[in-house]
Amino acid sequence: MRFRKLNPWLSWGLAATFFLAILSGLVVSYPYHEEHPLITTVGLETVVPFGGFFRAFHYFSGQLTLLLTLWHTMEAILCRYERRRPWWAWTTLVLCVPGVLFILFTGYIIRGDETGYAAGHIAEHLAQSIPLIGGAIDHLFFLVTKDGVHRAWLAHVYFSGVIFFLAGLFHFRLRALRSVDIAAWGSFCALLALILPASLETYTEATLIKGPWFFLGVQELLRYLPPLIAGVLFPSVPALALLGFYWWPRASAWALGLWLAVYSLLTTVGALR
């Protein structure tokens, strides 16, 4: 069987943006203190020399990492990439997708603004809705009501390293990452950081606080269904469908396509609300 090839420019672009997001994260973490997330985030923007640029660079490299992860996943499915890997390697790579989403979501929490505050409390509520293990998950990753953003901050840092390590271990070699890819995608992130500000809502009079763009569908569904269904079971469908591509590609494709259609509709409604 002949397989289609994945786009190498976008594939290595994913590795490059993830690598740049981690490097820029190390820079912005130096003046950051999780005890006072909003104060230090605003201070990074206004007091630290070039702090606003590095924060924006970190923000946009992270956003590009997620977008390229989703694109790369879709392209891998179309190219039947699961046929080229053993099941355990495919499973590890699939788990990296929600891992990247989790990293970006905790990034919103730890900045401490209106969106981050709301995202943290929603995440805590969703974790607690999981039977048996919900409390442990909340204590491990969130517990923002009692402990602030400390646990989310640690999860953001450690998950970034773990996901990057797993992707490099099972999918690409860091030594093969070309300097031209890092330079090109780094220049693009720097251009975005120079012309666009990173998202930060220090105060808003709006009665509805919208979460991150990738979370709008869940936020909208929470209006109609219980937290366990809307915020835990429903978002788990694409991960399960991706895992199923290795054994049941046709059924998994239908499940993923239907989920994407429903979630796109929910996201649109949530964005227009």
Same domain, 192 and 247: no
Question: How does pLDDT run across 113-128, given as a tens digit for each residue?
Answer: 888 888 899 999 999 9
Q: Are residues 149 and 47 in the same domain?
A: yes
DSSP annotation string for 41-59 = HHHHHHTSTTHHHHHHHHH
CATH assignment of the domain containing 34: 1.20.810.10
| Same domain flag for 130 and 241 | no
Dist. CA 4–CA 7, nearest whole Å: 9
Distance (Å, rounded) from C-alpha 102 to C-alpha 97?
Answer: 9
Q: How far is 270 from 273, CA to CA, in rounded Å? A: 5
Is residue 1, in this structure, part of any structural domain at all?
Answer: no
Tens digits of per-residue pLDDT, 170-227?
776 666 778 888 999 999 999 999 999 888 876 666 566 788 899 999 999 999 999 9
- Mean pLDDT of the region 15-41: 92
Q: Does residue 171 share a domain with residue 234? A: no
Alpha helix stretches (DSSP H) within 36-143:
37-46, 51-78, 87-110, 114-128, 134-141
Shared domain for 104 and 185, answered yes or no, is yes
Q: Measured at the alpha carbon of residue 58, what is the angle toward residues 240 and 145, in degrees to the nearest 5?
A: 65
- In a 13 Å sphere around the CA of 58, the CA atoms on its Cβ side amount to 25
Considering 178, 200, 222, which residue would you say is the last residue of a domain? 200
More confident position, 149 or 81: 149
| CA-based nearest residue to 12, from 159, 173, 163, 193 | 173
The range of the structural domain enclosing residue 131 comes to: 8-200
Q: Output the pLDDT for position 178.
A: 80
Position 1 confidence tier, pLDDT thresholds 50, 70, 90: very low
Question: Best-predicted range by mean pLDDT among 32-36, 101-105, 143-147?
Answer: 101-105
By three-state DSSP, how is residue 100 classified? helix
Q: Same domain for 193 and 227? A: no
Q: Do 220 and 193 share a domain, yes or no?
A: no
Task: Give the pLDDT of residue 4.
Answer: 63
- The number of domains in the chain is 2
Of 107, 123, 102, which Cα lies nearest the Cα of 60?
Answer: 107
- What confidence category does residue 165 fall into, taking pLDDT thresholds of 50, 70 and 90? confident
Q: Are residues 47 and 176 in the same domain?
A: yes
Q: Which two tokens stand for residue 151?
A: 């646990």
Residue 3 lies in a domain: no
Q: Is residue 26 in some structural domain?
A: yes
Mean residue pLDDT across the chain: 88
Entry pTM: 0.90
Per residue in 240-263, pLDDT (tens digit) is: 999 998 889 899 999 999 999 999
Query: Last residue of a domain, which of 145, 174, 200?
Result: 200
Q: Is residue 205 part of a domain?
A: no
